[in-house]
């Protein structure tokens, strides 16, 4: 347990910094500025800085992290691989009391590494998005009624957690508190596993060696196939990144999935129709818990 020095005690948030003005960073800027916070944005490309200023979603914007020297709370909204390096570069520019949070969709390693650099780091994952990316797609209210997971660890200061929770609540999000590990296992199951399950369904159809069957399947596929294959046909870069960053949790989920699939195959092979129907009844009855 780190003992926070008085110097590093988080102050009430007055000024917000955002590093990375893509879709999520842009939406955060838009909502927080509308909520009345001064918002300072930092982007890698000057074209993004110009766009943010023209859209009026930031109070000030630059390509230089030095802009954030007065920030009380900084959101790191870069691609996942850049979160920890950004925290590292950022820390020298910030007041010691500043809170740093991120929006990465996998938390374990990032929270450990970022907290080692910055004791006032609080992991976060706002679970919102849309098909388009980039600042041009930013819109107000993206986080409203969407889950926002905050993932403190043992050493995280409660005051810093409270402030990230307060801001997430002001965005209208539904805040959940979780350990990074539980978060990663939960999103592996409901978000990353479906991508692998769904893309494997597409590949099964593509691997059909009988050309007539393959073509017929393409002609007959309907809403059921469309829905089950949707996330498997999504952004390949994003799917790969999820697997890369959430590898152990995803592998565990995939192994649990294989086990469930083996059970279904065994029931069909041994013609245990009542037991199969019972499984499908449970799936039908319990699915609404996830909706």
Which residues between 193 and 252 bind a second copy (CB under 8 A)?
193-208, 210, 212-213, 216-222, 224-237, 239-240, 243-244, 247, 250-251
CB of 26 to a second copy, least distance (A): 21
Residues 135-194 that bind a second copy (CB under 8 A): 147, 149, 174, 176, 178, 182-183, 185-187, 189-191, 193-194
Contact 152, 161 (CB under 8 A): yes
Residues 5-64 that bind a second copy (CB under 8 A): none
Write the CB contacts of 151 (distance below 8 Å, at least 6 apart in sequence): 107, 111, 122, 123, 124, 125, 177, 178, 179, 180, 183
CB of 200 to a second copy, least distance (A): 4
CB of 288 to a second copy, least distance (A): 8
Nearer to a second copy (CB atom), residue 69 or residue 204: 204
Nearer to a second copy (CB atom), residue 66 or residue 291: 291
The sheet carrying 147-151 orders its strands as 60-62, 39-42, 16-19, 73-76, 99-102, 121-126, 147-151, 174-177
What three-state secondary structure class fits 79? Answer: coil
**Looking at 55, 82, 127, 159, which residue binds a second copy (CB under 8 A)?**
127
CB of 253 to a second copy, least distance (A): 7
Nearer to a second copy (CB atom), residue 18 or residue 23: 23
Nearer to a second copy (CB atom), residue 137 or residue 197: 197
Nearer to a second copy (CB atom), residue 60 or residue 218: 218
State the DSSP H helix or E strand holding residue 196, giving kind and residue range, or none if neither. helix 193-206
Rounded to the nearest 5 percent, the helix, strand and coil shares of the chain are 55, 10, 30
CB of 33 to a second copy, least distance (A): 26
**Distance between CA 51 and CA 179 in Å, rounded?**
36
Nearer to a second copy (CB atom), residue 38 or residue 129: 129
Nearer to a second copy (CB atom), residue 72 or residue 109: 109
Nearer to a second copy (CB atom), residue 34 or residue 218: 218
CB of 276 to a second copy, least distance (A): 5
**Distance between CA 72 and CA 93 in Å, rounded?**
12
Write the CB contacts of 109 (distance below 8 Å, at least 6 apart in sequence): 245
CB of 106 to a second copy, least distance (A): 13
CB of 72 to a second copy, least distance (A): 28
**Looking at 6, 145, 154, 255, which residue binds a second copy (CB under 8 A)?**
255
Antiparallel, parallel or unpaired: β 147-151 and 39-42 = unpaired
DSSP string, 255-289: HHHHHHHHHHHHHHHTT-HHHHHHHHHHHHHHGGG
Give the position of tokens 């691609």. 79
Q: Please choose, out of 3-11, 85-93, 153-161, 259-267, the segment that lies near a second copy by the rule CB under 8 A.
A: 259-267
Indicate if the alpha-carbon torsion angle 31, 34, 39, 43 is positive or negative. Answer: positive
Size of the site for a second copy (CB under 8 A): 92
What three-state secondary structure class fits 174? Answer: strand
């Amino acid at each position: 347990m780190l003992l926070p020095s008085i110097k590093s005690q988080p102050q009430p948030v007055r000024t917000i910094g955002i590093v990375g003005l893509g879709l999520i960073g842009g939406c955060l800027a838009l909502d927080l500025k509308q909520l009345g916070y001064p918002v300072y944005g930092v982007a890698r490309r000057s074209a993004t800085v110009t766009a943010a200023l023209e859209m009026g979603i930031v109070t000030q914007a630059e390509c230089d992290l030095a802009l954030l020297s007065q920030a009380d709370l900084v959101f790191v909204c870069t691609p996942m691989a850049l979160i920890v390096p950004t925290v590292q570069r950022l820390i020298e520019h910030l007041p010691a009391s500043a809170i740093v949070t991120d929006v990465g969709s996998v938390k374990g390693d990032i929270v450990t590494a970022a907290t080692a650099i910055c004791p006032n780091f609080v992991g976060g994952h706002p679970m919102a998005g849309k098909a388009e990316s980039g600042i041009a797609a930013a819109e107000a209210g993206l986080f409203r009624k969407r889950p926002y997971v905050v993932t403190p660890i043992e050493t995280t200061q409660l005051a810093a957690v409270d402030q990230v929770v307060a801001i997430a609540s002001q965005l209208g999000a539904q805040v959940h508190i979780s350990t990074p590990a539980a978060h990663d296992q939960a999103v592996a199951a409901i978000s990353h596993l479906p991508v692998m399950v769904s893309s494997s369904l597409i590949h099964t159809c593509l691997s059909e060696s009988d050309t007539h069957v393959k073509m017929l399947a393409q002609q007959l596929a309907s809403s059921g196939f469309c829905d089950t294959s949707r996330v498997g046909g999504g952004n390949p870069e994003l799917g790969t990144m999820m697997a890369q960053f959430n590898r152990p949790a995803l592998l565990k989920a995939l192994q649990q999935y294989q086990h469930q699939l083996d059970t279904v195959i065994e029931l069909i092979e041994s013609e245990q129709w009542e037991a199969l129907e019972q499984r499908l009844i449970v799936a039908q009855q319990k699915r609404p818990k996830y909706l």
